Amino acid sequence: DAGITQSPRHKVTETGTPVTLRCHQTENHRYMYWYRQDPGHGLRLIHYSYGVKDTDKGEVSDGYSVSRSKTEDFLLTLESATSSQTSVYFCAISGDVNYGYTFGSGTRLTVV
């Protein structure tokens, strides 16, 4: 979807290195989310934001941090990447609670 972009699309990194994934939206939506998708586990929420500098944890937040300094950008940081964080990461946006979600195209992260 043109209103939400994720970068990078693919990344290979070494265990123990920091990694930052970026989500950028042009829709001025209040809510932004980071999910990971793994075989056998489906989509799981990592962190979400309900406004600038307002963030909260999801069900699988350990090892991840987020920041949102502007409405349009939501960053996901792996402070010290581990092999268990190899996954496909999706960003999503939503307006108010009666809006649906729009997902980005995903970032495929491999930690070696």
State the residues that interact with other proteins by CB under 8 A.
33, 42-43, 45, 48, 58, 90, 92, 97-98, 100-106
Min dist CB 94 to other proteins, Å, is: 8
Residue among 58 and 63 whose Cβ is closer to other proteins: 58
Query: What tokens appear for 43 in the block?
Result: 């989509």
Residue among 6 and 85 whose Cβ is closer to other proteins: 6
Min dist CB 10 to other proteins, Å, is: 11
Residue among 14 and 98 whose Cβ is closer to other proteins: 98
Min dist CB 105 to other proteins, Å, is: 4
CA distance linking residue 109 with residue 9, whole number of Å: 8
Min dist CB 11 to other proteins, Å, is: 16
Q: What is the DSSP letter of 84?
A: G
Own/partner pairs, 96-103, CB within 8 angstroms, 24+ separation: 96/30, 99/29, 101/33, 102/1, 102/3, 102/4, 102/27, 103/1, 103/4
